[in-house]
A = this chain, B = another copy of it.
Amino acid sequence: MTKKIIEKLLAEKKYAQIKDILSALNEVDLAALLEELDEKDMVKIFRLINKQEAALTFSYMNSKMQETLIKAFTEKELKEIIDDMFLDDAVDFLEEMPANVVEHILSITDKETRSQINTLLAYPKDSAGSIMTVEYVDFKKEMTVGEAIHKIKSIGVEKETVYTCYVIEQKKLIGIVSAKDLLTSSDDSLIESIMETNIIYANTFDDQEDVAKLFQKYGFMAIPVVDTEHCMVGIITYDDAINVLQDEVDEDISIMSGMTPNEDSYFGTSVFDHAKHRILWLLVLMLSATITGTIITRYEDAFSAIPILVSFIPMLMDTGGNCGSQSSTLIIRGLAVDEIKLNQVFKVMFKELRVALVVSIVLSIVNGLRILIMYKNPMLALLISLSLVCTVIMAKLVGCLLPMLATKCKMDPAIMSTPLITTLVDTGSILIYFQIATHLFHLS
């Protein structure tokens, strides 16, 4: 909609009207609009955006568009954008750019910004350091509330958040003051008297996911980051934490469905990349499923003698797979949100065992009755019911143990989910089924 209007106005060179429309849009929506336009129009429209909104809009755009814009920018325009961007956004953006572009950009920024950017770029991917910003407001404990508010007024507009301010003494973090405390205290109170000293903080090398979980647990707006000497080096804000949480969920869900995680969008990923992300697990699982097939061939005599045996294979395999995947999903989520701990492995096993008993007895009764009615064959009903009970118990135990084992081996437990569990449980169900069949029907 807006896209068509903008293109029409652009063709008619009605720039003032375009500016009016643009100024009514939030930066996130501006970025989305620009991404819809073709390159030439996009550059033209970007130059019509209010100066205050340009940098933020730029940081919301995707890397491809950012690169296009940079190529079109004059050196002056580029410097302005980088200077106006929040430091953590600038770092996120630079991380996606080719080396020569990064070099060019760093060469035109001033010395202080350059050194700050370089420090942030050096933190390992996925560490707290890599998502923090060094732009925060710091106070001394001897300041009064009035002085503190004055400090915010003079410098705060450049800082990413002014809502949580930090009290620093000899580079160490000694207290936290919220803007709410400042606004609701009298001007002559001392910072020392209103600051919170029980501080929850992160270390620069903490995993970003662990830091994001702190936001979720405590509902903070910002968390301070300290280095190994406990000196304050930056803050992480809640908007970055929400993104980390969402990315981690997407990553887990991908792995749980047997795909390599992919940060790009569905339509933004090419057919070959989609295939690449999916083929590895499919190959592994396809080849391991042939093991189940090989086991079946060992029981050729059994199903030659009683051909109906074959027809229960899909039902047993599917039920086993579904039971296993229910358990593994619960355990993977429980581990992810820290509700289940590794030392509770026996508690989990005991719980799953009891659940498996209840579930498998219900399934066995329903299926046993169905077979009795349909085939009037009590031995067959007994075989399927017994196999179901054993399969469900085996599936639930495998489903809860493997994710915990993966965590113990410092692997992502999400790997041990539906596809892998299904394949493993399949082999187990077939073995159980034909073993019981061989005994019940005295085959070979």
Binding site for B on A (CB under 8 A): 23-26, 28, 149, 152-153, 156-157, 162-163, 179-180, 182-184, 198, 200, 215-219, 221, 238-239, 242-243, 245-246, 249-250, 253-254, 256-259, 265-267, 271-272, 274-275, 278-279, 281-283, 285-287, 289-290, 292-294, 296-297, 300, 303-304, 307-308, 310-315, 317-319, 321-323, 325-326, 329-331, 333-334, 339-340, 344, 347-348, 351, 354-355, 358-359, 362-363, 366-367, 370, 418-419, 422-423, 426, 430
Contact = CB atoms under 8 A, between A and B. Distances in A.
Contact of A218 (B26, B333, B344): B26
A325 B25 contact: no
A143 to B, nearest CB: 15
Given A156-B180, A183-B152, A322-B419, A351 B285 contact: no
A333 B253 contact: yes
Contact of A184 (B153, B303, B321): B153
Given A258-B322, A293-B312, A325-B418, A183 B317 contact: no
Given A289-B315, A333-B253, A419-B325, A282 B359 contact: yes
Q: How many copies does the complex hold?
A: 2
A79 to B, nearest CB: 24
A340 B266 contact: yes
Contact of A289 (B152, B254, B314): B314
A330 to B, nearest CB: 6
Given A162-B180, A266-B334, A266-B351, 18 more contacts: A26-B198, A26-B218, A28-B219, A152-B183, A163-B180, A215-B242, A253-B256, A258-B322, A258-B325, A265-B339, A267-B347, A274-B351, A278-B326, A296-B314, A300-B307, A304-B307, A314-B426, A314-B430
B239 A219 contact: yes
Most buried by B among A162, A287, A292, A330: A330
